[in-house]
Chains A and B, each alone.
Chain A
Amino acid sequence: MTVPPGATSSPPASSPTSTADVRDIVGEAIAHKTPVRIVGRGTWLNAGRPVEAVRQVSLDGLSGIVDYTPGDLTLTARAGTTLAEIARATADHGQWLALEPWGGDAGSLGATAATATAGPMSGALGTPRDTVIGIEVVAGSGKLVRGGGRVVKNVAGFDLTRLMVGAWGTLGILTEVSVRLRGLPEQEATLALPVPNAPAPLAEFVTRLRSAPIAPLGLEIVSGRLAARLGLGQQAVVVARLAGNTDAVTAQRAALGGLGDVLEVPDGVWTAIRTAEPAEATVVRFSSTVARFHEVWLAADRLATAGDGYAHASVLRSSARVVLAHNDGALPDGVLELLRGATRDTRIFERLPAPLWPVLAPSRATDRLSTGVRAAFDPHHLLNPGILGEAHA
């Protein structure tokens, strides 16, 4: 029974509760040549990615913090552990896992690492690539493999950790993940200020923002439509997350005040931005150079408007995301064209209606090294086949 792309029914699921269970499941998949789809907590929506699998492996039973010594500022948890559980445990010690990816804290650590999903803090605090320090994984070969460790610096051996982060489960099923933590800032403040919408004033504004004496954890432009949903008015604004001790926050607040009329915003706005996306959506990310950032933002905003969605962009990462609330492939007139060619910058399709995958997002993992890596770790092509948009038998 192969599930066609875009089908809503799920294949039969198994719920391993231990690494040994995961090994059994992969062993069985190898024996019967039955492809599996790997699911964390199931919150990361199906993303429309056209996986063909006859069995679903849900990791919500493989959950719990394995090791957390606060003084080390590192934590190891089973892959299915929710980000919320980690946030609770670390907050008790004045620490946090500074990932805060799109989609909220109901998602799992394993899925966050596997998809390398970053959020609005990633420009300042890094992505899973920078934060994950070790992994345990059952490779598609059935072997149990460990990379990295539980310490913050480690160059022992070839870097299997980096290879697994962002591989979308196509090389192995993550069973355990170790991460570095940070101390929670003494104080935080979130401010919003209006953003010009004409190209030249916008470019100038962004330049002034970049050179201001601030060290924000997040600096996110949100389009008028998203601003309205967040209760920040009807126009595009930039939302800044300031942090540090009292003196540092006070000085940064004053510096931002020099750039426009600032509005104090509750800190909860960051969670609201991360969870604003509808369960079924088309999400495209455009990343650009610093010099072209303002153009990319304006193009993203136009695309969002045409597609009846919203856009937001990280000034620190020079990267914009467009969220369209369509997941049936029936995008409004002209939007498909815009998706194809909105800018000449790097386009990454995070989520798409299943029928559009082959149209818009042919796999980028087709070069000799990528196919070699896939064959080395998942020789039978059983793990999440198709999830990278790759053609397969």
Chain B
Amino acid sequence: MTHAADLADRLTEIVGPRGVLRRAGELVVYRSDGLPGYSKQPRLAVFPRTRDELVAVVRLLADQRVPFVPRGAGTGLSGGALADDVVLVGLNRLTRILSIDPVERLAVVEPGVVNVALTRAATPYGLHYAPDPSSQAACTIGGNVAENAGGPHCLKYGVTLNHVRAITAILPDGEIVRLGNAEGEVEGYDLLGAFIGSEGCFGIALDVTVKLSPNPQAIRTLLADFTSVDAAARATSEIIASGILPAALEMMDAATIRAVEASIYAAGYPVDAEAILLIEVDGLEAGLEADVARVEAMCSAAGARTVRVARDDAERARLWQGRKKAFGAMGRVSSHLVVQDAVIPRTRLPDILAAIREIAERQRITVCNVFHAGDGNLHPNIGYDANDPDEQARVHAAMREIMAACVAAGGTITGEHGIGLDKLDYMSLIFSEDSLAAMCRLREVFDPARRANPGKVVPVHSCREWHGAPRAAWSA
């Protein structure tokens, strides 16, 4: 049994009085992450400022056998960073960029470094950090590692996994391990690959060595405007099948376009379009115009009304801002927004978008689509009022139907947001009991006591000998 006040006192000895939250009123802000609909209150929250403090905190929690949940910026969209009556370990104060090596094109960062801050620091060297989730102005590299985050430009450049060279991690029992190799190749099991995307269940990264990518010599950003979603989907399939690999290929439907254009992020999208594609091609200057011409031709052939190329960096930035802030803009439409995430084979885009439309109409809900069309990564977003139980039930039913449709098309239930709490129920749609049990085995290798982010990712019933997710045994 652990006495919460005693534990809070001991944590305070490590991180100081301003690094521990213990009163219910103070902890309310940590009840949710970027996904509405879940509310779990941590018992305590602790915010180490240095690596040594973090190590001491994790070791104290190990010593006391208290479960914990690591949290970056809390921008996650699967309920993964919620701590249900356990200790929340906030990593957002570990914000130091430890080194940038422009020759090796590597950076070493603490887990709380904000994604865009790393790119900003690399800019003087003509480098950037490639994974660019829409939340990049707030989300952290540690959180990106936990979720194996993507973003629009991962179509060409790959997701977080493809950009991390090494991690020093502290396992839940307090042992510090080095995964990967910053200075060369690795043999043996790909433990680094296993750690990335483990949603905080395998430990906490103390530092992360990431690759920095050279800025492309030339970039062209195109905006193609369609009178039907179907035509935009067909253009997407054509471009992907053509062999041209755009840096990004994003789709937004009419509802999203109007929400963005009515907001402070207005990007100049055509408000009467049923769908737009935002397409970026980059690389060497030589040959780029020919690729742009081919992409334009494919869009036109699929029925685009107009295709325009951003004239300069300012216009390009504006077109992208509308896309990246689309979720925020939707706040104008409804009080709550579920940003969903699923992936389908790219040839299935037209029929799955039609299926989503049908589901939305039948369930009488509003779905806005803004997503990474180029890799088939859908984000059907549902605006609703969480205070209306009937609407909430219909939203829930629609979600399940959409997920089932994506799975039936040969897809998966999440491309970049993770399972967290939100998608536990869908895991059995794509994985057998034996596969889920294998995932439990893997988790136990890293965390035999399964105290890190308990109850997330793999449904508890899949781990036969488990008796519910471990909880903290608080004494009065």
Contact = CB atoms under 8 A, between A and B. Distances in A.
Contact of B427 (A73, A156, A287, A288): A156
Given A158-B439, A370-B191, A183 B103 contact: no
B314 interface: no
Interface stretch (B43-51, B266-274, B407-415): B407-415
Contacts of A94: 243
A228 interface: no
A290 B103 contact: yes
Contacts of B345: 69, 72, 74, 150-151
Interface in A27-79: 69-74
A5 interface: no
B419 A157 contact: yes
Nearest to B78: A155
Interface residues of A, number: 78
Contact of A69 (B196, B347, B411): B347
Contacts of B217: 213
B470 interface: no
Interface in B266-314: 283-291
B209 interface: no
Given A153-B150, A160-B435, A162-B161, A346 B181 contact: yes
A305 to B, nearest CB: 23
Contacts of A158: 194, 197-198, 201, 439, 442-443, 457-458
Given A346-B181, A376-B444, A215 B189 contact: no
A153 B435 CA distance: 19
Interface residues of B, number: 84
Interface in A227-274: 244-252
Max chain A CB contacts within 10 Å: which of B147, B345, B376? B345
B245 A373 contact: no
Contact of A144 (B147, B181, B432): B432
Interface in A361-393: 363-365, 367-370, 372-374, 376-377, 388
Interface in B406-463: 410-419, 423, 427, 430-432, 434-439, 441-446, 457-458
Interface stretch (B16-24, B28-36, B234-242): B234-242
A252 B283 CA distance: 12
B158 interface: yes
B188 to A, nearest CB: 4
B457 to A, nearest CB: 6
B190 interface: yes
Contacts of B245: 182-183
A375 to B, nearest CB: 8
A104 to B, nearest CB: 22
A209 interface: no
Contact of B240 (A71, A130, A249, A373): A71
A345 B159 CA distance: 28
A251 B181 CA distance: 35
Contacts of A130: 158, 162
Interface in B309-359: 343-347
B301 to A, nearest CB: 15
Contacts of A327: none
B193 interface: yes
Contacts of A372: 444-445
Contact of A245 (B175, B190, B290, B414): B290
A159 interface: yes
A388 B439 CA distance: 23
Contacts of A318: 184
Given A145-B434, A157-B431, A71 B194 contact: no
Max chain A CB contacts within 10 Å: which of B158, B187, B435? B187
Interface string A165-200: 111000100000000001111100000000000000
Contact of B445 (A162, A249, A287, A369): A369
Contact of B430 (A70, A149, A159, A167): A149
A182 B411 CA distance: 19
B287 to A, nearest CB: 3
Nearest to A118: B185
Interface in B186-218: 186-191, 193-194, 196-198, 201, 217
A299 interface: no
Given A159-B193, A162-B193, A71 B243 contact: no
B190 A319 contact: no
Contacts of A139: 438
A215 B240 contact: no
B103 A73 contact: no
Contacts of B183: 287-289, 345-346
A129 B193 contact: yes
A101 interface: no
Contacts of B243: 94-95, 182-186
B283 A291 contact: no
Given A157-B419, A167-B189, A289-B183, A248 B287 contact: yes
A367 B446 CA distance: 12
B26 interface: no
6 contacts: A159-B161, A167-B190, A184-B243, A213-B286, A290-B104, A373-B194
Which 8 A-B pairs have CB atoms at the shortest separation, nearest pair first? A183-B243, A248-B287, A162-B193, A251-B286, A287-B184, A346-B184, A372-B445, A153-B415
Interface of A: 69-74, 94-95, 116, 126, 129-130, 139, 143-147, 149-160, 162-163, 165-167, 171, 182-186, 213-215, 244-252, 285, 287-291, 317-319, 345-346, 348, 363-365, 367-370, 372-374, 376-377, 388
Interface of B: 103-105, 147-148, 150, 154, 158-159, 161-162, 175, 177, 181, 183-191, 193-194, 196-198, 201, 217, 237, 240-245, 283-291, 343-347, 372, 375-377, 410-419, 423, 427, 430-432, 434-439, 441-446, 457-458
